[in-house]
Structure 1
Amino acid sequence: MSRLYILFFLLSVFSCTGKSASVEDSAILTQGDKEVVCFIYHRFGDSRYPTTNTPVKDFEAHLAYLADNNFQILTFSEAIDYLQSDKPARKTAVITIDDAYKTFYDRGLPLLKRYSMPATLFINTKTVGGGDYMSWAQLQEALKNKVEIGNHTHSHDFFLNEAAATRYKTFKDEIELSQSIIEEKLGSKPIIFSYPYGEFDGKMKAIVKESGFKAAAAQNSGVMYAGMDLFQCPRFPMSEAYSEKSKFVEKAKMKALHVVSSKPDNFILPADNPPVLTLTFDGTDLRIDQLQCFVQGGECSLKTIDKQKVTVTLQATKRIGKKRRTLYTITVPDKQGIWHWYSHVWINTAVE
C-alpha cells in the first residue's frame, strides 16, 4: 500500500468522523452507550523525541476542547469505577501519562492545574529522580494536584524478549518491587497498571490481575466501554503525529467497536507472516457496507455470519514487522454517522 493511499484512507476516516459531530453532540446517551475515550501522553514540549512528544500548545488545545464540550474528566481508576457503575452515561475522557518525564511536571502539570483536571501518571520506579525523570518530591506534589499514580513496573523492560522460563517471575517480581517502592515513597500502593510499551501476553495479564490491580492500560488505539476486558484497555496516542487539535477532536468523538471474539487472542507476530486477524463483533446499527480497514500495507475481507454478528478477516498484503509494533485497525460508522474504532497490535520481538 502506497503512502498516498494510506494518507487518503486516514483523511477519509477523519473527514467522515467530522461530519458526525452534530449528531453525537445532540444524542441522548443511554446506559448501553457508557464509554470512555482515553489518551496517552509521554513528553511535553520536547521535540528531541517526536514519537513520544506532544507540543505544549496542542496539549492546551486538548484540555480546552474537553472543558468547552462538557466532558467528564476522570482518573483511570475512576473511569473503571464509572464503567462498572449504574451511573448515567456521559461523555467521558481520561488523560494518562506514561514514564513520568520532567516535562510533564514542568509543562503538562501546570496546564492540568489551570483547567482543574485530573490525570493518571504511570511511573517506572527505577528511573525516578534520574536524567529526564521526575523526582519523588515532584511526584508527591503531583499527587496533591489531582494526579493519580499508577504502576509501570520497575525497569520498564521489554519483558516479551525474556525467555518464558524466567519472564513471568521477572515480571511479577518487578511489579511487587515497584509496588513496595511506591508505597514507601508516596504512602500508598497503586491500584492501576500500565504495560511497558503496551506489550503483554495472556499470562502477564493474569499476573496483573492476581496482583490486585483494578485494571490495566495497553497502547493499542481504541475506546474503552462497559463490559470490555479491563486488563487491556486501549488508549489513543497523542504524540506529534496525532496531536493536532483536529485529530484530537476526531478521537474524542470516536466510539468503541464491541468486539466479542478475536482470533488469535494474542499479540506476538507469528511465523506465518503476514498474520491473519479475524474479528467478530455486534453489527447492530452499523453500516457494514462502509467498513474500512487499515493494516499499514494490507487489505481486509468481510463475511456476514448473521444479521447481528459480523466477522471481518484482515491480512496485510505483504510481510510486516520491520517495526516492533504494527497495528491492524478497522473503523465503521453507525446509522447515525458516528464512527467506531478497533485496533490490534502485532509485536515483533526481534526488533527493539
Structure 2
Amino acid sequence: MKRLLLLLILSISLHPLAAEVLPEQQSAPMVVERPPVRYWSPTERGSTLVQTLPGLDQPSPVPTRTDPKLLVVLYHNIVFGRTGNIYNRDLYNFEHDLAYLKRNYTITNFTDLVTHKPSTDLAIITFDDGDLSLYGIVYPLFRQYELEATIFLVPNFIGEVGYMSWEQVREMSDYRTEGGKKLFHFESHSLTHRMMGSLSEEEIVQELKESKSRIEEWTHAEVTVLALPFGNGEGDKRIITAAKRLGYTAIRTSRPQAVLFEKLNLWSLPALNVENYSTDVFVQKALDLTRRF
C-alpha cells in the first residue's frame, strides 16, 4: 500500500501540469514608476508671494540705458522648498528673482537678440538639462506672467526619471500666448552632457549634430544655440567651427559676466549661474556684474 501511494505521488509530481506556473504566480515585469508632477498654480504653490510682487503682476517701465548690457541667467532645477543641493533654486527666491529681472530688464531670447536695438538692459532666462520641474513649475508660472524662457536640453536625459518627456517638451514649445507670442525656446546642451573640450573633433560633431536633430524633430523649431556642459570648451576653435558648420549661431558659457550689447561675442556668451542662495545675494551678484549701482 505504501509503495502504491509513493508511486502515485511521484507520477503526479512529474505530470506536465504540475510544473505549469499559473498566471498569478508569474513574476510581473519591473515597472519604473515616474514621480508625480507637482504643478505651480496661482493658488497652490510653495509661496504666496506673486500677488505681492509688483515686478510680476503690475507692469512698470524698465530703466532706459545709453549703454545697454546683456545679462544671461542660468538655472537648473526649481523646487518648492529649500534643499542642500546648490542647483535647486527654491520657489520663494525664484519668484523674487523674476520680479527683480522683470523690473530692471527687458526679457528676451537668443533669436531676437541679434535684431535688438535696445534702449534698456536685456536679460535672457535660461535653464539647463531639462529637469521635470521646468514642466511642473516654470511652464505654468511663465505662462501666467508671459515670461520667456530658453531651455537647453540634453536629449539623452529626456524621458529619464526626474526629467521631462519629449511630449512635455513639445507641448511647451507649441504654446503661444493669446497674442501669438512664443514663450518657451529649446536649444542644445549637447547630446550626452560630456565635457566638450576633452572630446575629439568627430565626437564634437556628433554631440552637436545629434542633439540639434532630435530637439528639432520634437519641437519643429530650429536649434541655433549651444550651451556648453560645465562651461567646458569655451573658445575652443574646434567647437566653434563645428557649431557654425552645423547651423548654430551662438554658444552660451557659464562664465559669470554681463556684457555691453555693442560688444557681444555670440560665440562666447557668459551667464550667471544662480545657486541656492537668497534673492538678496542674486541681486547683488547681478549688480556687481552689470555695474548698476
**TM-score scaled to structure 1, two decimals?**
0.58
2:187 touches 2:212 (CA, 8 Å); kept in 1? no
After the TM superposition, which parts of structure 1 deviate over 6 Å for at least 4 consecutive aligned residues? Answer: none
Name the structure with the higher helix share: 2
- The answer as to 2:212 corresponding to 1:175 is no
Q: Percent identity?
A: 25
Does residue 239 of the first structure (1) align with residue 275 of the second (2)? yes
One-letter code aligned to 2:254: Q
Shift of residue 254 of structure 1?
4.2
Contact kept? 1:77, 1:215, Cα under 8 Å: no
| Structure 2 unmatched ranges of 5 or more | 1-60, 177-182
Distance across 1 between alignment mates of 2:111 and 2:288:
21
In structure 2, distance between residues paired with 1:221 and 1:239: 12
Structure 1 residues 101 and 70: CA distance shift in structure 2, 3 A: same
User: Structure 1 residues 187 and 29 mapped into 2: Cα distance closer, same or farther (>3 Å)?
Assistant: same
How big is each residue's C-alpha offset from its partner over 1:142-190, in whole Å with a ceiling of 9 and x where there is no partner?
A: 211511010111111123334xxxx111011121111221222221331
- Is the 8 Å Cα contact of residues 153 and 186 (structure 2) preserved in structure 1? yes
Task: Give 2:92's match in structure 1, choosing from 57, 63, 77.
Answer: 57
SS at match of 1:207: helix
Partner Cα distance (2:63, 2:153) in 1: 38
Which of residues 107, 118, 122 in structure 1 aligns to 2:152?
Answer: 122
Q: 1:195 is matched with which residue?
A: 228
8 Å CA contact 1:80–1:215 kept in 2: the answer is no
- For 1:139, the equivalent position in structure 2 comes to 169
Indicate the residue corresponding to 1:220 in structure 2.
Answer: 255
Structure-1 residue corresponding to 2:186: 149
Q: Which of the residues 245, 251, 256 maps onto 1:210?
A: 245
CA shift, 1:49, in A, is 6.2
Letter in 2 for 1:55: D
Q: How many residues are paired up?
A: 222
Is residue 193–residue 215 contact of structure 1 (8 Å, CA) maintained in 2? yes
SS at match of 1:232: coil
SS of the equivalent of 1:234 reads coil
Contact 1:191 1:214 in 2 (8 A): yes
Q: State the alpha-carbon separation in 2 of the partners of residues 116 and 27 from structure 1.
A: 20
The Cα RMSD (Å) is: 2.3
Q: Distance in 2 between matches of 1:141 and 1:235?
A: 27
- 2:10 maps to none
1:257-290 deviation line (CA, Å, top 9, x unaligned):
xxxxxxxxxxxxxxxxxxxxxxxxxxxxxxxxxx
Contact 1:40 1:96 in 2 (8 A): yes
Equivalent residue letter for 1:198: G
Which runs of no fewer than 5 residues in structure 1 stay unpaired?
1-24, 257-332, 340-352
Q: 1:39·1:95 contact (CA, 8 Å) conserved in 2?
A: yes
Distance in 1 of aligned mates of 2:190 and 2:283: 31
Task: Sort the Cα spacing of 1:222 and 1:159 in 2 relative to 1 into closer, same or farther, 3 A.
Answer: same
The alpha carbon displacement at 1:34 in A equals: 2.5
What is the correspondence of 1:1-352 to structure 2 with a 5 Å cutoff?
Answer: 29-30=65-66, 33-45=67-79, 50-67=85-102, 69-82=103-116, 87-143=117-173, 144=175, 146-162=183-199, 167-200=200-233, 201-225=236-260, 226-241=262-277, 244-255=278-289, 338=292
Give the distance between the partners of 1:223 and 1:208, measured in 2 at CA.
23
Distance 2:118 2:222 in 1: 30
More strand by share: 1
Change (3 A) 1:58 1:27: closer
Give SS of 2:263's match: coil
The one-letter code of the counterpart of 1:245 is T
Deviations 1:43-91 (A, max 9, x none): 1117666121111111111112223x25211123323432xxxx24212
Alpha-carbon deviation of 1:246?
1.3
Name the SS for the 1:40 alignment partner: strand
- In 1, distance between residues paired with 2:115 and 2:286? 20
CA gap of 1:253–1:188, structure 2 versus 1, over 3 A, is same
- How far off is 1:230 after superposition? 1.2
1:192 Cα offset (Å): 1.3
- Distance in 2 (alpha carbons) for counterparts of 1:205 and 1:49: 36
Q: How many Å separate the matches in 2 of 1:222 and 1:92?
A: 13
Residues in 1 aligned to 2:118 and 2:265: alpha-carbon distance in whole angstroms: 21
SS in 2 for 1:81: coil
1:27 CA displacement: 7.5
- C-alpha displacement of 1:227: 2.1
